[in-house]
Structure 1
Amino acid sequence: MSDTPSKPFRTPWPGSVSRPVVNPLQPSVVYASDDPDALDAQYEGGAKGFTYAREGHPNAEVLGQMVDAMEGAKGGVVTGSGMGAVTVALLGTVRAGDHVLGADQLYGRSLRLMNEELPRLGIATSLADPTDVAAFEAAIRPETRLILIETVSNPTLRVADVDGIIAMALARGVLVAVDNTFPTPRGCQPLARGADIVIHSVTKLMAGHSDATLGYVAARDPDLAARFLTLAVSMGFTASPFDCWLAERGLYSFDLRYERCTATAARLGDALADMPGVERVLYPARSDHPDHNRSISLLGGEGGHMVSFEIAGGRAGANAFVRAAEGLNFAPTLGDIATTISHPATSSHRALTPEARAALGISEGFFRISVGCEPADALIATFDTAVRAACEV
């Protein structure tokens, strides 16, 4: 009996004179070439093609080009997570003996990367107030190679003096990386303001549906951008084709979601400020925000989709608030199409001591809200009920 198969093991993809309206998902890990010369041509840049998914795949390329267009970048790298993008930006820029100066209100995992992992690799780090250029300038050392800031901090929504820090760093020959996740490219474009590197957690509002984990990092300098790509490939920061495909879908509705969420967040911030039991509200577009004037020039007067606020009652009040916020997800995430509630003391900043959290303004009654696309009136009514429940504790 012959071992010759009656049909090919791999059936060729059918040809068609028409084309799909939706870009196809391409989960293949490997790509076949015609011969060694063809493979050489791909690796040497003489022909366009894919070889192995860790080195790139069609879905990541499409997504990267879409975010590039939004950020005014070229050659941005899509990674498997937002922290993957932060790590590529850091490790692709600095080496043992260098110093990294970071904002003191970075996302919790970014702080842990700064405080625990980089020093282990022989990279010195320190933190300063990103709203105070003088504090950043005073913290610069001769070996400072990179500054890492967030446009709007997580979770206290402080607005960094991006323009001032960039100008100071340029004069000192120091690179500036800006995590632009909260405002998104609709709110701010750091590269256009002179930043050297821009970072995103695409997982959040850009993808927008809590079903894709992705990051993005781009550099102004083409050589640095190429280094980021090489590092991401070598260290395996590969993005899933499926997640990239989902995020591409999310970006098609991004503008609509951004506008709806931002408008509702502004209304929610004002409503919370009038509720008994709410001790403070942080929303950049409000006149009582400590960085309001800066937010006007940096964010174009828009406050974005994030609102933070504080209620009385400590942990008991926080528990009562969450339990009474029916229909809203209590989850350590943001950017979903639906509103989510986050409690930084038990999620993003739980690794900090109570004293360190207090220094940042994060108490047991502090909440970060990622506003979604629900009807504003219904959302405000839910928060009113939940705040009242917290006041009864």
Structure 2
Amino acid sequence: MDIRPKITPIYQTSVFKFEDLNELESYFSEPGSRYLYSRNGNPNSDELADAINRLEGGTGAIATGSGMAAIFAAILAYCQAGDHVLCAADIYGGSSTLLNAELSRMGITVTYVPFEQFYDLQQFVRPTTRLMLAETISNPLLRVADLGRLAEECHWHGLKLVVDNTFATPVITRPLALGADIALHSVTKYLAGHSDVTAGVVVAADEAIAARLKQIGVIYGLTLSPMESWLAVRGLKTLRVRVREHSHNALVIASFLANHTGVREVYYPGLEQHPQHALAAKQGAGMFGGMMSILLADDAEAVNDFMRRVKRFPFAPSLAGVDSSLSYPLGTSHRALTSEQQQNLGITTGLVRLSIGIEPVEELLADLEQALA
């Protein structure tokens, strides 16, 4: 029977069979010719990695069990004990926790670079500095990095640029095309898009680094499971249309909130008053994504009241699903930072992060209006 499914089946198996020793030897002598063990590779996880690699324009990629695993793999691709890393000060709290709490135990040190000093790294660079970790659009204050300029500055100092492209997605920005050496994602967010997958991906511009990432994934056991990979591939197929809808809704809502007396500040690069609006428009193909943060009164009860009243934005500490949600950076993603770090970054009691979904925008506006009344 000739079976040719349009959709790749789920290869829900931990191991693959061999006919004899000759097949075993061909596995080792012809990489990619067949599969042995799902930690080493599986058709579903390879399909996901290859699809995102094409979107980002890389030379190779690996799919990992989470976005955190992707960040870990990207740093290990370039670093070993005794090395030093630069990291954007305005970054996802999990990234800084990984660097501070775990990679420091492996002998990898970190210095945090304020956003205003991204393009003058001289004072931060040491002989042992290997890379700079930054985000295309920062979490949670939506600052936009000039990736081309940052790549030039990093390469001038002999550093690699690793970019977390989760908020932007390759539909909006492709970091490798702008000079970055690695682009990574929490696939959990926009790439899968339906709040039912936990996954990550790392894409390399250089073939040797792509091979090193593969080695790290196999040896550390970071490989993504077949079922999660299949779900993420399914979600990825609607990425372009979803990003357009997220971006459209977010711009309408940001404009509404920017004129609302109950909102002190709106952080969204699609607004003309955003400090990096022109850069975001140029670097983002005219789309600005579905993420924003708003500043309410710096009073916990005022924030609690808003969270209880809003109906279409459940308090769910993640982002980028087709359904809208909200999160609270001070108490979730950036909880591990010191009070001084939180204050310096502008992560205060009144800061609420909104993930704008693809529901009818009129319904979202009506819900926000009644919640802020």
Does TM-score exceed 0.5, indicating one fold?
A: yes
Residue 263 (str. 1) matches residue 248 (str. 2): yes
User: SS of 1:55's equivalent?
Assistant: coil
> Which segments of 5 or more consecutive residues in structure 1 lack a partner in the other structure?
1-15, 389-393
1:91-143 Cα offsets, whole Å, 9 max, x none, are: 12101111100000111110111222222211121010235334433211221
The separation in 1 between residues aligned to 2:60 and 2:338, in whole angstroms, is 39
User: SS of 2:130's equivalent?
Assistant: strand
Q: Aligned partner of 1:77: which letter?
A: I
Residue 309 of structure 1 and its aligned partner are, at CA, apart by 0.7
For 2:124, the equivalent position in structure 1 comes to 139
Q: Is the 8 A contact 1:311 1:366 kept in 2?
A: yes
For 2:72, the equivalent position in structure 1 comes to 87
Q: Quick one: structure 1 residues 44 and 291, their matched pair in 2 at CA, closer, same or farther if it must change by over 3 Å?
A: same
Aligned to 2:152, which of 145, 167, 183?
A: 167
The correspondence of residues 213-292 of structure 1 with structure 2, limited to 5 A, is 213-292=198-277
The separation in 2 between residues aligned to 1:133 and 1:112, in whole angstroms, is 21
User: SS of 2:177's equivalent?
Assistant: helix
Task: Give the TM-score normalised by structure 1.
Answer: 0.92
Q: Is the 8 A contact 1:41 1:47 kept in 2?
A: no
The separation in 1 between residues aligned to 2:15 and 2:364, in whole angstroms, is 47
> Which segments of 5 or more consecutive residues in structure 2 lack a partner in the other structure?
none
User: SS of 2:161's equivalent?
Assistant: strand
Q: Is the 8 A contact 1:64 1:76 kept in 2?
A: yes
Q: Is the 8 A contact 2:88 2:133 kept in 1?
A: yes
User: SS of 1:125's equivalent?
Assistant: strand
Task: Give the TM-score normalised by structure 2.
Answer: 0.97
For 1:4, the equivalent position in structure 2 comes to none
Residue 301 of structure 1 and its aligned partner are, at CA, apart by 3.1
Q: Aligned partner of 1:126: which letter?
A: T
Q: Is the 8 A contact 1:84 1:237 kept in 2?
A: yes
- Higher radius of gyration, 1 or 2: 1
For 1:114, the equivalent position in structure 2 comes to 99
The correspondence of residues 1-393 of structure 1 with structure 2, limited to 5 A, is 16-45=1-30, 48-388=33-373
The separation in 2 between residues aligned to 1:214 and 1:24, in whole angstroms, is 19
The separation in 2 between residues aligned to 1:46 and 1:176, in whole angstroms, is 29
Q: Quick one: structure 1 residues 130 and 387, their matched pair in 2 at CA, closer, same or farther if it must change by over 3 Å?
A: same
The separation in 2 between residues aligned to 1:73 and 1:36, in whole angstroms, is 35
User: SS of 1:250's equivalent?
Assistant: helix
> How big is the alpha-carbon RMSD for the aligned residues of Structure 1 and Structure 2?
1.3
Residue 373 of structure 1 and its aligned partner are, at CA, apart by 0.8
Q: Aligned partner of 2:152: which letter?
A: A
Q: Quick one: structure 1 residues 169 and 336, their matched pair in 2 at CA, closer, same or farther if it must change by over 3 Å?
A: same
The separation in 1 between residues aligned to 2:5 and 2:32, in whole angstroms, is 24
Q: Quick one: structure 1 residues 256 and 42, their matched pair in 2 at CA, closer, same or farther if it must change by over 3 Å?
A: same
